[in-house]
Amino acid sequence: MKKWLKPLLTSACAAGLLLNGLAHAEIKEHTLRFAFQNVKEHPQGQGAQKFADLVKEKSGGKMTVRLFPGGVLGGDLQTVSALQGSTLDLTVLNSGILAAQVPEFALLDFPFLFNNTKEAQAVIDGQVGQELAKRLESKGLINLGYWDLGFRNLTNSKTPVTKWEDMAGLKVRVIQSPIYLETFKALGANPVPMPFPEVYTGLEQKTVDGQENPFTVIKGSKFNEVQKYLSVTQHIYNPQSFVIGAKSWGKLNSDEQAVITEAAKEATAYQRQITAAAQDAAYSELSVEMQANSISPAEMDRFRDKVKPVIAQFSKDLDPALVKAMYESVEAVRASN
């Protein structure tokens, strides 16, 4: 056989096997409902759209993902309940919120835990993230991947925050998670748990003085319209969990599940890639539209010291092996730099 012919035939055979596999794939018509809190232009929304496009492509147009952005179907807790009941199919949300389902998800919301994205991804892509995903299955939720939301920062309408004492008495909207409540109490603020769709109105009507979110969320949700001060506290980093309800998953056959799995993997890589650039762009705009300030390294150390009791409080109720594995993952990244 001529040398040039062998690789050609090999490629042709591989293509034939692929086409044969697609031809025999059992894919039926499905419409999956995907609800999330941010606007469709946000990296969260862009990731969701990428996933929807990939599912359509990989299923030959038979499977459709319908997007419901901006919290139009309710807050995160409502959405999770809807996934468990199969009235919704998919969502992506801050992983820490899932502590209501699996307490160990609170690990990912330990304040001032991560210095950068690399550290966070070492945890969620490694042993810790895999174990959390496994434990979620018993709660009627299947993890499809971990997305990035970025570091959370503080805005308010009253004062610049350059040290933790500046937070005294501030009414700050936080997500509906115990560790957020305790973190902001420790820093002297008055935390107010509130579903995300209610935040803009709460800020506008002065029900709360401030809120905390990544730059892209602040900009995308137009909180800068009703907030004056932006303080770069970077107090919590938000990996996000991309999940499908177990009941919805169980309605799909193996070929259809493969479409979802592959689309989720590609959409996760895409969403992570666009998040970092979007954060930089959002901050550039916000720093012009708001009065922005950074926190000095010395004051950041004081913030960390102030919340140590919160970390100790939550750590004692969690699986010590996972707590240990998380810190080891972070230290391994730092040691490699």
**185 burial level (CB within 10 Å; 0-12, 13-18, 19+):** middle
pLDDT digits (tens, 9 = 90+) for 118-139: 999 999 999 999 999 999 999 9
Q: Could you tell me the CA-to-CA distances from 53 to 13, 171, 260, 266, 303 in Å, in that order?
A: 28, 41, 11, 11, 43
pLDDT digits (tens, 9 = 90+) for 285-301: 999 999 999 999 999 99
What is the predicted pLDDT for the residue at 19?
Answer: 40
Per-residue pLDDT averaged across 89-107, rounded?
94
Domains of the chain are 29-336 (3.40.190.170)
Enter the tokens of residue 18. Answer: 């692929």
Residue 25: pLDDT band (50, 70, 90) is confident
CB atoms within 10 A of CB 236: 27
Label residue 188 left, alpha or beta by phi (over 0 means left) and psi (-120 to 50 means alpha): left
pTM summary value: 0.85
| Of 84, 55, 60, residue with least CA distance to 264 | 55
Q: Could you tell me the CA-to-CA distances from 141 to 16, 25, 58, 126, 242 in Å, in that order?
A: 36, 25, 23, 19, 10
The percent of residues in the chain predicted with pLDDT above 70, rounded, is 93
pLDDT digits (tens, 9 = 90+) for 212-260: 999 999 999 999 999 999 999 999 999 999 999 999 999 999 999 999 9
- Cβ atoms of 175 and 238 within 8 Å: the answer is no
What is the predicted pLDDT for the residue at 337?
Answer: 80
- Cβ atoms of 69 and 48 within 8 Å: the answer is yes
pLDDT, averaged across the chain: 92
pLDDT digits (tens, 9 = 90+) for 141-166: 999 999 999 999 999 999 999 999 99
